[in-house]
Structure 1
Amino acid sequence: MTAFGYFLSCEEFTPAQLVEQARMAEEAGFTRLAVSDHYHPWNDAQGSSPFVWGVIGALSQVTRLPVTTLVTCPTVRLHPAVVAQAAATADVQLAGGLRLGVGTGEALNEHVLGDRWPPFGVRAEMLEEAVAVMRELFTGEVVNHCGTHYTVENAKLYTAPENGELPVYASAFGPKAAEAAAGFADGLVTMTPDAELIGRYRAAGGGGPVLGGVKVCWSQDRERAVKTVHRLWPSELLPGELAQVLPTPRHFEQATELVTEEMVAEAVTCGDDPQEHTDRLRGHVEAGFDEVYVGQIGQEQEGFFDFYREQVLPRLP
């Protein structure tokens, strides 16, 4: 049975707004939370980007729902030993409710220290090694590691996950990455309802949950909703690897000049038709997702939560 959660967008909202959204999500009937991890927003119009680990600490004080990072990059901007400490502390604050979603990252966030942005093959190797390092640290034992990409010396997490482990879910958008995730991660993160990709993950031995997300824009005025998405999230419609290689919000603004309101209206669920919203989520259910996270674009948050509590979530399996 598919579980439905709410997606907290650090790129678009302040820490206080994210905490309030978490509270409303629980009241509306969502059973879990996901939160993005960015250094920069995708464009200046989004206008926010708080440090995710501080946000999660605040969430732990207002909600009992489990929280998943979608996704953290533990390879370039932050060393995996530092990410492991942050995740372990968050897990303790959430009483065992953190799931660490990880990925190979985007230049947008990871280039800020001036490090070289490696090609995907190298980033994939770095991610697997980083996950191995973090798993060792989660045990609470002293860790020494000298690998291809990372060195850890006499490191011990004194605030460790209670059971010495923490679920790690890996992001994948292609078949090779999905098959690799089956070998080193506890679950798969992918946004598109691609049954074939999920099948490749399962065939490679991936038995963990499959997580995905979808952004919508509820509004009683559909035209206004389309304009809101076009202003804030045109990057959702960029093709290929642009999202991984463009380095600044300004570059994304230049690229998304090619995205029209008509393209948004066709690709993104906008407005207040409950059947359209339900059908969008059913697509993920039918593709084989175990958890689906819905993010509301724009400021009409209270109306969105009322709408989903009354007209959408009750329709879903």
Structure 2
Amino acid sequence: MAYEIFILLSTISFVSSFSCRLFGIDQTTLDTKFIEFYNTSSHRHVLDLGGSVFQSPSATVKLDNRTYLSTYNTFDSKAIPYFFLLMIDVKTKSIKLNVSLIEKNDYAGFYHIGVTHENGNIYGIRESFKSPLSLEVANINQTTGLMKSIGIYPAGSFSIIIAFASKRRLYYNVIDSTLYGINIDTGKLEVHSQIPGDYSIYALDYDSAKDRLIALVYPAGLNDGVWYLVEVIMKAKGELEFDRIGKSEIPFEKYFWSTNYALDAEKRLWVTLWGTTDNKKNYFFVFNIDNGKIVEQMATNLTELSNLACFDSI
């Protein structure tokens, strides 16, 4: 392949019915590993990350072409969560940075992160744990781990369908049937658009090479039930239009969405992960984002794949 896939794999086993369980998870038996998936049949464990909990596949990003960046949390004996920023060098297979995320007035979890190209700043969507719950856009200081709130996000249920458009300085988030966009410099809401028709957005990513949003959508109005790729076009007065990319389809009756995906804008590839009714097997579908063709389909027997990032060959 022209790229390598790096994955976080979490496995849970219950050794005793009397063990202390936090939020349904026995922390003493949670095992998270960093895995390199380098062809259709082979993978190897790179790092053992112990009892780390990676909450969302959206909490992973490629900082440059050799740094895997993610947030995670652990729990203490009183079930209080502590959040961290983790950087892994995919060339040396070592941890470059592991810093505690600090919030002076509140506990907060980072569920999506993005990186600006010009200065390496890390921005993200964080969820405040104090009442009333809120979603915020914030900045992370890579040296100190200090989190600084930029602006409050629109109220609504939390979504992991999020994309950071670095050139536009916008964070996009899908909440219910609406696409929001918040400016990371001002914290102000700049996009508030209804998703058209019977469409549902299952994945959203930013193609930096062409400065456009692409999405994996499910049109509920179709009788045959398929997912396919579209370009998300913003028209006058904030209206959205979906322009289909190619003719490839993922059939609803054979596959179900896993929320895991990674974009390689330089190679023009979008790697997506799917499940099936066979709980021992998952599938990678690799799309060409220019013509929409499925250029690769790979089966894997790995389960509990949490986060995904795609790198050029190194």
The alignment's TM-score, normalised by the length of structure 2, stands at 0.30
Of Structure 1 and Structure 2, the greater helix share is in 1
Q: Which has the higher contact order (CA 8 A, sep 6+)?
A: 1
